[in-house]
Amino acid sequence: METTVNLPLSSRQRLSAAGQPMLASGYGRRRFVQGAGFALLWAAAGLTVGLLAIVIGYIFVRGLPGLSWRFLVTAPEGGLSGGGGISTTIVTTAYLVLLTLAIATPLGSGAALYMSEYAGDSLGLQIVRFGIEMLAGVPSIVFGLFGYALFVTRMHFGFSLLSASLATAALVLPVVIRTAEESLQAVPRDLREASLALGTTKWQTIWGVVLPSALPGMLTGVILSAGRIVSETAVLYVTLGGSSLLPRNIMDGGRTLALHLFYLATETNAPVSKQMATGVVLIALILLINFSTNWLGRKWKAKTL
Amino acid sequence: MTTKTLAQALRLPLAQLQTSPRPQAVPLAVATAARQSLPAATFSAQDYSLYYGDFLALERISLDIPARQITAIIGPSGCGKTSFLRSLNRMNDLIKGVRTEGSILLDGQDILLPGTDVVALRRRVGMVFQRPNPFPMTIRENVSYGPRKLGEHNRARLDEIVERSLRQAALWDEVKDLLDRPAMALSGGQQQRLCIARALAVQPEVLLMDEPASALDPVATLKIEELMRDLAHDYTIVVVTHNMQQAARVSDYTAFFLSGDDRTGRLVEFGRTKEVFTKPHDRRTEDYITGRFG
Amino acid sequence: MRRRYLWDRLVKYLLLASAFSALLVLLLIGLFTLQEAWPALVRVGPLRLLTGTSWRPGQGQYGILPMIAGSLWVTAVSVVIALPIGLGTAVFLVEVAPGRLAGVVKPAVELLAGIPSVVYGLFGMLMLVPLLRRLPVPRNSGFGILAAGIVLAVMVLPTLITISADALRAVPQSYKEGSLALGVTHWQTIWGVIVPAARSGIVAAVILAVGRALGETMAMIMVIGNSPIIPVPLSSNPLTILLSQARTLTGNIAVEIAYASGLQESALFATGVVLFLLILLINGTARLLLGKRASASA
């Protein structure tokens, strides 16, 4: 920022070069307004960062004391007491993530592959894109309702990992497709052309050249979706049920970490420290996922540059 | 070489060039003395150097730009002409990692000093860019933008300023019924004149023009050149151009920049346009003007 | 040789099928929610559903207007809070921040976006609500529109910031240079040229934020109180309407689906249909605006 140490260059003349009376310039006032304005902008940014610090800080400060190895490996007691640990929820979360990704990844990658490698800019493609955009905006509770209506009730899967993963797969599908498509588009044209010029078929080109190159980016998308699944609650609330037991197979229901936190907070008398501790684990998990996404993303960028 | 062949090389009518014989190479002291006999300078660059990070873009430029004249800066592409021009209103500040040495004096005050009010400087020294860049607003809003930001809100006075500026830019007759239409709807040449009007509206003393006609068709180009000659009565004009014919046609003084293998721009020669084009002091100037390179 | 090409064709059609899966899912969602909502739509009728001010399933009343009001109030409050902070942060990131600081703020915004809604709900419940309860207003429980609005504001902040920042970055540098070259200050340039030029992108950001706000469920039901009433001021001061409890459309579904059956369940699905259509409309508008901007600046 400049301070006016020497004389400002404001013209002392009363007539302009072309002979008209000079406009006032208001340098002092404008400089003041700018200073105040920029201070406000700094405040806004500071507030944003501050909010993050407050939310995470509050949870960590009140949750870390309640965190222990015991907490992580004991199962929740269930019922109103809210006692016990979170072991089963962590495992259930892992099950759900794996199952959901098993459904969404092939489907989403396949869609992205088609859109990126095969389709032109036809009307059909535009409709598909539109569909994906719209799907991305649907609230998670509506996915929950959908899962409840179709999988839990109509198909008699009941509250189960199966119902939940199907509904959640629908939820993360747009994310997988979008990131996969971006990664595929980022593969330079020449690579494809070089392979095709050698006489290979389109699929061979994709399998041998395009996919390996786009893989890190697509992996990033998958991990991003995993983060989304871990954070999800609304969909699971109506498709997974609330059992605090470990699901024995995919037809069993259960609780993910996020869902468990919700129940702890709203339906039990669990001590605050326990709720916060659960929150800490959840946030830590998300942070981990975030960092790996960034790290992978950076590695991928470095590779393609 | 004869003046005739030079005229042919430049595609200029013979009469536009002086017919006195070419002198020998002039020693530096004499050239400096010759420079000092020019009318009082508005801008004076003194050993000015410009760095982009570690890269030396301009080396020790010393140049006095005369008031109320048109000074053309010519040279092959990449030799630092635009960088020098943008130094005069400190637009280079927008680039990260920029560093300067030496000084540039505007009426005796060094504009490179840290405490300089750059906002005030840029009002006194206006700029017209290579590609016309009207704001996405109406014509009236474009021209009145500067005065409004300076604090003028009186509707009548603003309308006056808009009309006056557009007249000065030789655009008034074409747009006087279109003032509330989007500026983007104008042709390229009109947009550029609009940008000139916009710059004039804040009452500068100097007008910097960075290849103002290079993005325009020949007809629009001629209009801009005419405009420049008119404006020179009231304003000091510094124009960068890669078009030598334009420089010879339009300017009173010419500065020739050149960069070597190190891509560092240096001032090779500066003087009255007629002299630079007919009796250049430096061999390199002659080579450039006669088209042997660049 | 022929086998290679046959395989290729097969793969192509498989992938084509995947591509349509997203569209299929969208249609399925629409269809199934509509189907489950049908009984309510027929027996109660869309008009009574949408304009009925009383939600009392026990007495056969299925008006979701209170929930519409609740959703709108909460969304409005969150946007009013988040817009200045979000736009300010975006402008800061693009125009003011020295390089290193941008590297701090940007990840912070990403992190804010990544925090699960339950955590925000928990934070709101355990820290914000008790704080608001201290306000000396009769029947103030701390739970209500303000609590939910603040929590929601923090949740939509990243969306606002990221998309606004993109819009600001897309403004051609030539506008900024043209303005500065006239002797106009940086601050004036930001608000005189840059932000106006990014207008459609910023509006799209707000619309997307609104969509996000309307779709939030869990954090809402943890802090808003969930009384299915049309919000009214708690005292003579009209501002106390912010402390009124309320229920959102999303909350309506989540809170009652566990034990609802029959017509009530159907009405909840109808709420889902309303949500679905609303969000589709909102996102479609944003897409149009963003798309137009993308082609205009090309």
Query: Does residue A123 form part of some domain?
Result: yes
DSSP letters of C145-195?
HHHHHHHHHHHHHHHHHHHHHHHHHTS-HHHHHHHHTTT--HHHHIIIIIH
What's residue C281's pLDDT? 87
pLDDT above 80 (res A16): no
- Cβ distance of A23 and B114 shorter than 8 Å: no
Percent of chain B with pLDDT over 70: 85
What's residue B83's pLDDT? 94
pLDDT above 50 (res B118): yes
The string of pLDDT tens digits covering residues B176-228 is 999 999 999 999 999 999 999 999 999 999 999 999 988 888 998 999 999 99
Angle (CA) A85-A88-A92 rounded to 5° is: 140
The predicted model gives B143-165 an average pLDDT of 94
* A203 lies in the same domain as A80: yes
What's residue A237's pLDDT? 92
Range of the domain at A280: 69-304
pLDDT band at A67 (very low <50, low <70, confident <90, very high): confident
Number of other CB atoms surrounding residue A121 within 10 Å: 8
What's residue B5's pLDDT? 52
Query: Does residue A21 form part of some domain?
Result: no
Contacts of B161 in chain A (CB under 8 A): 23
Query: Does residue A245 form part of some domain?
Result: yes
The string of pLDDT tens digits covering residues A171-223 is 999 999 999 988 888 888 888 888 888 887 777 788 888 888 888 888 888 99
What's residue B58's pLDDT? 94
What's residue B32's pLDDT? 42
- Cβ distance of A18 and B109 shorter than 8 Å: no
What's residue A87's pLDDT? 86
Least CB–CB distance from C186: residue in A34, A48, A52: A34
Cβ distance B71 to B255 under 8 Å?
yes
- The strand pairing partners of B210, in sequence order, are B240
Percent of chain B with pLDDT over 90: 62
* A228 lies in the same domain as A162: yes
Which comes out higher in pLDDT, residue B24 or B68? B68
pLDDT above 50 (res B128): yes
- Cβ distance of C183 and B195 shorter than 8 Å: no
| Dihedral class, residue C182 (left if φ above 0, else alpha if ψ from -120 to 50, else beta) | alpha
Least CB–CB distance from C188: residue in A30, A43, A232: A30
Topology of the domain covering B39-289: Rossmann fold (3.40.50)
Least CB–CB distance from A41: residue in C92, C123, C157: C92
Which comes out higher in pLDDT, residue B143 or C18? B143
Gap between the Cα atoms of B134 and B112, Å rounded = 28
Gap between the Cα atoms of C152 and B49, Å rounded = 54
**CA-nearest residue of chain C to B95?**
C177
Among the four given CATH numbers 2.30.40.10, 1.20.1250.20, 1.10.3720.10, 3.40.50.300, the one describing domain C67-296: 1.10.3720.10
The string of pLDDT tens digits covering residues B225-250 is 999 999 998 899 999 998 888 999 99
The string of pLDDT tens digits covering residues B47-72 is 999 999 999 999 999 999 998 899 99
Question: Which tokens go with A205?
Answer: 């080109």
Query: Does residue A6 form part of some domain?
Result: no
pLDDT above 70 (res B3): no
- Cβ distance of C183 and B119 shorter than 8 Å: yes
Chain B: closest CA distance from residue C89 (Å) = 21
What's residue C18's pLDDT? 86
The string of pLDDT tens digits covering residues A91-105 is 999 999 999 999 999
* A78 lies in the same domain as A94: yes
pLDDT above 80 (res B141): yes
Interface with chain C: mutation pick from B88, B123, B133, highest number of C CBs within 10 Å? B133
The string of pLDDT tens digits covering residues A250-303 is 888 889 999 999 998 988 888 888 889 899 999 999 999 988 888 877 776 676
Contacts of C21 in chain A (CB under 8 A): 107, 110-111, 173
Supply the mean pLDDT for chain A.
Answer: 85
What's residue A14's pLDDT? 60
Torsions phi, psi of B237, nearest 5?
-120, 130
- Cβ distance of C115 and A290 shorter than 8 Å: no
- Cβ distance of A139 and C215 shorter than 8 Å: yes
What's residue B22's pLDDT? 37
Cβ distance C63 to C51 under 8 Å?
yes
Q: Compute CA B284 distance to the chain's CA centroid, rounded to the nearest angstrom.
A: 22
Residues of chain C below pLDDT 50: 293-298
The predicted model gives B165-176 an average pLDDT of 93
Task: Tell me the Cα Rg of chain C.
Answer: 23
Count how many domains chain A has: 2
pLDDT band at A154 (very low <50, low <70, confident <90, very high): confident
* A103 lies in the same domain as A59: no
Any idea what DSSP says for residue A36? H
Instruction: Please state the domain extents for chain B.
Output: 39-289
* A206 lies in the same domain as A263: yes
Q: What is the side-by-side strand order in the sheet with B125-128?
A: B109-110, B98-106, B41-52, B55-66, B265-272, B253-259, B70-74, B236-240, B206-210, B125-128
The predicted model gives B64-91 an average pLDDT of 92
- Percent helix, strand, coil in chain B, to 5, is 40, 25, 35
Which of these ranges, A73-87, A105-119, A217-231, C173-187, has the smallest mean pLDDT?
A73-87
Least CB–CB distance from A44: residue in C5, C15, C84: C84
Element (H, E) at B222: helix B218-231
